[in-house]
C-alpha cells in the first residue's frame, strides 16, 4: 500500500443488522479483493461502498471528485443505448466531454477492453456474453473514476481473458491513480486481481 490519501474509508460498517463491523481503507493505485462465500453479503457490501444503499450502521467516506465506477456481474442488464459506442460514451458525455475528445476517449476505452472497431456500432444481439462484459469494462475505462468496484471480475471470460483483464486493470490503476476493489468467492481470482485480500466474516449480509 502506498502513502497516498484514502479514496474510500469504512468505519465500523455493518452491511446488515447483526453482521460484523468492518473497518477498511482503500488508497489510490491500490487493488483490494474482498473474499467470501456465495450469499455472504459481498454484493450488498459493494452497493454500500458505491452509495447505492445505506449500511445498517457505520460510516462510508467516498471520493469527492471523480466518483465511483461499478461493474456488476451482468453489465448488459444496465445498458441504455443501442450500440457499444453509444453506451461507452454515455457517462463521459454526462460529465461534459464532447466532440473529438469524447470520440477519442470512447474508442481508446473500447480498444483497451479488447473490442475490435468492426463491432462498435453493432446491435447487442450480435454480441456474446463475454463481449458484452468487455463493453462493461470499457465503460469504466472511459469514465475514469477514482474508485472501481467490480463484482466477480472476469466472470464470463476465458481463463486467459481473465488473466489479461487482471493485468490491464493493474496497469490502469497505476496510470490513473485509481483504487480497485473486487468482490469474489474464488480464492484464485482474489489473488489474481488483488494485491491485498480481505476475508469477510460474521455471516450473511
Q: What percent of the chain has pLDDT over 90?
A: 87
* Cβ partners under 8 Å of residue 90, min gap 6: 80, 81, 139
More reliable by pLDDT, 66 or 32: 32
Can you tell me whether residue 92 is helix, strand or coil?
helix
Q: What is the pLDDT of residues 156-199, one digit of tens each?
A: 999 999 999 999 999 999 999 999 999 999 999 999 999 999 99
At 3, the pLDDT band (50, 70, 90 cuts) reads low
Question: Where along the chain do its domains lie?
Answer: 79-144
**pTM of the shown model:** 0.93
At 200, the pLDDT band (50, 70, 90 cuts) reads confident
Q: Identify whether the C-beta of residue 48 lies closer than 8 Å to the C-beta of residue 13.
A: yes
Strands 6-14 and 22-27: antiparallel
Q: Residue 49 pLDDT more than 90?
A: yes
Q: What is the pLDDT of residues 70-88, one digit of tens each?
A: 999 999 999 999 999 999 9
Place of cell 465500523: 12
Average pLDDT over residues 116-143: 97
Can you tell me whether residue 52 is helix, strand or coil?
coil
| CA separation, residue 179 to residues 7, 13, 19, 99, 196 (Å) | 7, 19, 25, 28, 12
Q: How far is it, in rounded angstroms, from Cα 3 to Cα 26? A: 11
Query: Average pLDDT, whole number, for the chain?
Result: 93
The predicted pLDDT at position 1 comes to 44
| CA separation, residue 90 to residues 50, 79, 87, 138, 189 (Å) | 19, 10, 5, 11, 30
Place of cell 447505492: 52
Q: Residue 46 pLDDT more than 60?
A: yes
Q: Identify whether the C-beta of residue 148 lies closer than 8 Å to the C-beta of residue 138.
A: no
Alpha helix locations (H) across 12-83? 42-50
Q: How far is it, in rounded angstroms, from Cα 50 to Cα 68? A: 6
Q: Residue 22 pLDDT more than 60?
A: yes
Buried b (16+ CB within 10 A) or exposed e, 45-66: bbbbbbeeeebbebebeebeeb
Q: Identify whether the C-beta of residue 64 lies closer than 8 Å to the C-beta of residue 18.
A: no
Amino acid at each position: 500500500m502506498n502513502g497516498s490519501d484514502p479514496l474510500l474509508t469504512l468505519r465500523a460498517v455493518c452491511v446488515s443488522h447483526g453482521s460484523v463491523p468492518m473497518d477498511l481503507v482503500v488508497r489510490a493505485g491500490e487493488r483490494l479483493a474482498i473474499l467470501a462465500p456465495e450469499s455472504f453479503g459481498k454484493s450488498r457490501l459493494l452497493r454500500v461502498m458505491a452509495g447505492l444503499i445505506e449500511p445498517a450502521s457505520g460510516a462510508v467516506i467516498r471520493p469527492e471528485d471523480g466518483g465511483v465506477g461499478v461493474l456488476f456481474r451482468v453489465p448488459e442488464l444496465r445498458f441504455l443505448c443501442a450500440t457499444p459506442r453509444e453506451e461507452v460514451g454515455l457517462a463521459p458525455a454526462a460529465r461534459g466531454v464532447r466532440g473529438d475528445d469524447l470520440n477519442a476517449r470512447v474508442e481508446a476505452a473500447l480498444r483497451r477492453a479488447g473490442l475490435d472497431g468492426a463491432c462498435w456500432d453493432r446491435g447487442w444481439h450480435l454480441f456474446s456474453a463475454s463481449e458484452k462484459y468487455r463493453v462493461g469494462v470499457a465503460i469504466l475505462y472511459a469514465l475514469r473514476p477514482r474508485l472501481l468496484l467490480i463484482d466477480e471480475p472476469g466472470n464470463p471470460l476465458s481463463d486467459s481473458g481473465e488473466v489479461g483483464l487482471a493485468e490491464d486493470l493493474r496497469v490502469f490503476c497505476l496510470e490513473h491513480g485509481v483504487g480497485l476493489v473486487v468482490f469474489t468467492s474464488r480464492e484464485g481470482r482474489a489473488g489474481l486481481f488483488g494485491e491485498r485480500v480481505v476475508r469477510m466474516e460474521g455471516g450473511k449480509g
